[in-house]
Chains A and B, each alone.
Chain A
Amino acid sequence: MGNSLTGDLPPGFLQRSKDWLRRELFASRVDGLLSLVLIGLILAALFGLLRWALLQANWAVIQLNSTLLCIGRYPIEHQWRLWLLTFLLAATAGASWGLLRSCRRADRPGLLWPRNDRIAAAVLLAVCLITPPALGLSLAVAGRWLAIAGLLLAMRWLLGRLGRRLGADAIKWFALVWPVTYLLGMVLIGGGFGLTPVASAEWGGLMLTLLQASFAILLCFPLGVMLALGRRSNYPLLRWGSVIYIEFIRGAPLITLLFLGQNILGFLLPGGLAPERVWRAAWVLTIFAAAYLAEAVRSGLAAIPNGQMEAARSLGLSTAQGLQHVVLPQALRVALPVMVGQFISLLQDTTLLSLIGLMELLGTARTVMANPDFLGHYGEVYLTLALLFWCCCAALGLGSRALERRLDPHHLPNL
């Protein structure tokens, strides 16, 4: 930012701020006026929001219903399973974080905790310290959240250390831990293998939202890639099949598809064969997202010149091998930002499940707001939900940008 100043004597802080203000806010008379108006508006909005949040809002509606909003009607006696899952996820996430960092910094040792990581760790700890008292959670629960944050950071530290010794191969093997954790999580949530089953109708709240989104994201990816390849295929039947599928799905509002899945699927399948309501919605989301993902991948494929495939073929690779090793990795890298955009949309689209009566985050929030004790507290509930969604989506976006940088061949010297 201060490029123009290099060469001069390092000016004082006051001078620098003054320069910055002049350049950014008061470059011209019009700009200055605009800045003043905007500052006034921002201050008024902040003041109004703070006054409402601190004086008028009644946050008891969130405090008393925080469990319901998080996990819905999940039976209390089985809640330990969700805690266990959260611990597992924290450990896995921390380990992945540490491994990624240790490998990335292999060329630049001594930077195990770069600035961004320190900020992230501080934010995580702060959230885990502030949220439980703010929600009025018991000491035991607050302690658990702190332990989860601690576990995550500990794994981050441990694997950050070990990772350098384990080398780059460790990442590849560690990638397998995620699907295992996911399947384990499904068992923990739904039961089976000796655990008491918990019907999918009793899953709810944030848990159901994340479950639906992650399920659809995981499954729509292979489906979308297949559809994108199908659309570029030389086989007319495959091509037209893919085109019809993609265009039909993209032409329909998600809510009609969800409605179709909930209420018409029963007509299309023999009695009893239709999956549970929750899974049906998850499949509809998957099918819906796959069509959009296919278009994202197709745009990536279109960016890869034909010469790449021809080169692969001339090296003796089959079409499939050429796709797998040469074309798809490049195409997916190009399509990554759009794909993550689709994943974020997918996460947001789960709110539509509330319109078909599923108890995901928004659906649960609606029952909370219908409770006679909390009538009229829409602002508090909606703002909390907005904050939750914002954090989840922004995290996805941040992660995608980090991944983009990692995958960009121009910014990556040797990996």
Chain B
Amino acid sequence: MGSNLTPPQLRRGGLNGGDNPGLSQPPWWRNRLLIPWLVQALVGFVLLLLVAFLLGNLVRNLTAAGLLLSWRWLGQPAGFDIAESVLPFQAEMPYWRGLLAGLGNTLRAVSCGLIGATVVGTLAGMANFSSNGLLRRLVRVYVELVRNIPLLLQLVFWYFVVFLSLPNGLAALQGPGVVLAKSGLYLAGFHNGLHWVGPQLVNDVWQAPLRLSVEFCALLVGLVVYSGAYIAEVVRGGIASVPAGQWEAASSLGLGWLASIRHVVIPQALPVIVPGLNTQYISLAKNSSLAVAVGYADLYAVAETTLNQTGRAVEVIILLLGTYLVLDLLISALMNALNQFVRIKER
């Protein structure tokens, strides 16, 4: 309908001029071509008024508070420290570096979370089709338990109840190349590029090439467990969408369980799974902002500190919303590309 509409001014000429006097014209308010434009003009006008009203107030109120939009504060020294950061950051660096460090931390949590949740979700989703009844039921319990409890509650539970009751020092949980203590997760790695070094206790403090703080671990575990349950359902739905006949056909061809999954089921399930994954990935990225509840210095946490130290609420919120929007679009674009890839292969 929309493409072959005539602009109202042309149409009005027709109405007034009466170029078709023989036909009885419907009254103008029932004109099927005019009304869409009228409705839209009205809606547009109201929207415009609303936006003008809100912006007008914003400017007036900000002027009154002496806080008119300005971005100069971004260059001023931040004055606060950040506990852990992928990008180097110190208190004397400007605010924008702090926000960038926060973004780096967010990206780290999101990327690790995406990988972890995908692995957990895929395994759990596939476990729904295991021949072991106990495993199948256990996965149902996991999914039903996790999906019905708020993520924020799970995060604070992981951090304050689980990770903060870990032992420190010698009593820490130790595995080959891994030590989990209250001060963090210590992993073995290459030291100076060559020597393989495991975690060591020096003066009652653990030292290792790779250390993850418990704040990061709590956030990561929380996100992975939560998103993993949702992804498990997506994967289950995808696999279930493959008709049972396909399984039977694969096994009649002599393919084993793994081989039939790999060559027959997954290629057909993926086009169903990928769009669902996209939704889950985006919500994981946004949920990472709950890091603020467990003391991990992600973008939102740094932004909130910045906002408070500068008083620049509006600017900081604009930055935040913009960054998360870009992050989501990025994930969406990647997943859409993957979707295309999967579809082409199917054909």
Contacts and interface: CB of A to CB of B under 8 A. Distances in A.
Tell whether any CB of A sits under 8 Å from a CB of B in the complex: yes
Contacts of A192: none
What bracket does the count of chain A residues touching chain B fall in?
35 or more
Interface in B120-166: 131-135, 138, 144-145, 147-154, 156-157, 160-161
A235 B41 CA distance: 10
A237 B57 contact: no
A2 to B, nearest CB: 14
Contacts of B289: 253, 255-256
A276 interface: no
Nearest to A236: B2
B150 A24 contact: no
B259 interface: no
Contacts of B321: 251-252, 256, 260
Interface stretch (B88-96, B180-188, B262-270, B312-320): B312-320
A390 B145 contact: yes
B213 interface: no
A251 B57 contact: no
A27 B153 contact: no
B300 interface: yes
A252 B286 contact: yes
Nearest to A263: B313
Nearest to B329: A251
A119 B147 CA distance: 24
B324 A251 contact: yes
B3 to A, nearest CB: 9
Given A267-B314, A355-B152, A386-B157, A255 B131 contact: no
Contacts of A269: 54, 57
B153 A385 contact: yes
B282 interface: yes
Given A267-B314, A362-B152, A252 B135 contact: no
B34 interface: no
Given A31-B132, A248-B325, A354-B152, A255 B292 contact: yes
Contact of A268 (B1, B58, B138, B149): B58
A31 B293 CA distance: 41
Interface string B15-43: 00000000000000000000010011001
A264 interface: yes
Interface in A17-32: 23-25, 27-28, 31
B138 to A, nearest CB: 6
A51 to B, nearest CB: 14
Contact of B135 (A34, A237, A259, A355): A34
B40 A235 contact: yes
Contacts of A260: 317, 321
Nearest to A39: B134
A355 B131 CA distance: 44
Contacts of A109: none
A378 interface: yes
A226 to B, nearest CB: 12
Given A253-B287, A267-B57, A378 B160 contact: yes
A286 B36 CA distance: 28
Interface in A361-390: 362, 378-379, 382-383, 385-386, 389-390
A380 to B, nearest CB: 9
A386 B146 CA distance: 10
Contacts of A253: 286-287, 289, 300, 324
B14 to A, nearest CB: 21
A394 B132 contact: no
B249 interface: no
Contacts of A352: 152, 290
Interface string A329-360: 00000000000000010001111101100000
A386 B2 contact: no
A264 B313 contact: yes
A393 B2 contact: no
A234 interface: yes
A266 interface: yes
B149 A389 contact: yes
B290 A255 contact: yes
B167 interface: no
A397 B317 contact: no
A355 B328 CA distance: 23
B328 A251 contact: yes
Nearest to A260: B317
Contact of B133 (A24, A251, A385): A24
Contacts of B290: 255, 352, 355
B39 A235 contact: yes
B325 A27 contact: no
Interface in A106-142: none
B131 A382 contact: no
B276 to A, nearest CB: 11
Contact of B325 (A34, A251, A254, A389): A251
Interface in A232-247: 234-238, 241
A267 B65 CA distance: 10
B150 A250 contact: no
A35 interface: yes
Q: Interface centre among B132, B151, B320, by most A CB within 10 Å?
A: B132
A55 B317 CA distance: 47
Given A25-B133, A25-B134, A253-B324, A236 B152 contact: no
A266 B314 CA distance: 11
A382 B160 contact: yes
Contact of B148 (A27, A263, A264, A394): A394
B54 A268 contact: yes
B324 A252 contact: yes
A252 B325 contact: yes
A270 interface: yes
The 5 A-B pairs with the shortest beta carbon distances in the complex, nearest first, are A24-B133, A393-B148, A348-B150, A251-B325, A253-B286
Given A386-B153, A397-B148, 12 more contacts: A235-B2, A248-B325, A254-B286, A263-B313, A264-B313, A350-B150, A351-B150, A351-B153, A352-B152, A386-B149, A389-B148, A390-B149
23 contacts: A27-B132, A34-B132, A234-B1, A235-B2, A237-B44, A251-B324, A251-B329, A252-B324, A253-B287, A253-B324, A255-B290, A256-B324, A259-B304, A267-B65, A352-B290, A362-B150, A362-B152, A378-B157, A382-B153, A386-B149, A386-B153, A390-B148, A390-B149
Interface of B: 1-2, 36, 39-40, 43-44, 47, 54, 57-58, 61-62, 65, 131-135, 138, 144-145, 147-154, 156-157, 160-161, 282, 286-287, 289-290, 292-293, 300, 304, 313-314, 317, 320-321, 324-325, 328-329
